[in-house]
Structure 1
């Protein structure tokens, strides 16, 4: 039991000490140099307003959380599904991957106004779509790479055992992705 606590202490204690030190230094510097609250509020003021304004903040936290989780699930699911399709059909992959890589390099701030015009700025779905787009392309690109760039020796071994495409997919390609 002692070994477990020592491991936890070694792993997390330095991070906790650094975080507390940074917050304490922040508080000290704001007080020492009398920095205006609208420029850099004290951590104690932030925590205080968090509790005093909780009724206002809580619905916004839930809205943001719902949008982030929904968009993450939507983008990840669509990215994985599209990756399986493009990895299966080589010509589709060759045609689509340059566009996916190019679309991945477009800043999301350029796509946000389009989503807001289509779905409305106050609708959770527009925010979900922004998150989904942010997640979709990296997932698509990395899963396609994982599915297609398998060890040739392992693939040859699976084929020498007369493994079906389905068996190769779920025994070799999916774990590689």
Structure 2
């Protein structure tokens, strides 16, 4: 049985002030856009490459969320040299995240050694609830779990802010 993917529309529509995404893996599996990028197609250029529906749906959701005044921040903890997947993410971040209103920062894993980080990727919404993501070893979706336990929320918020403070804004992070 395949674990269900959370309803990100409901999650982001529930945000009133902030939605923070912490990503800590160097690969999340393969999709067609990643495969096209690896084949040399210009996926980062809107005038040259049409993103599939799942990407355009995400774009609409982020624009809607930011349009309601919600601050959407994404922090990525990455290995260097970067994996092909991270180089691809970096290539499409301007188009697929920043242009939509997300703020994105990158933290080299070597600069995170003294930070206490959660064991899983996550979304933190309004500093009151967390949705943890689980992935298989090859980057496939493996499940999720939400919590509003205030001790966990507080720890996650502190971890995210520590990463955010130390991380490099997307436009200044060279790959």
Question: Do both proteins adopt the same fold according to a TM-score greater than 0.5, normalized to the shorter chain?
Answer: no
Q: Which structure: larger Rg?
A: 1
TM-score, normalised relative to structure 1: 0.23
Q: TM-score, normalised by structure 2?
A: 0.23
More strand as a share of residues: 2
The answer to which structure has the higher helix fraction is: 1
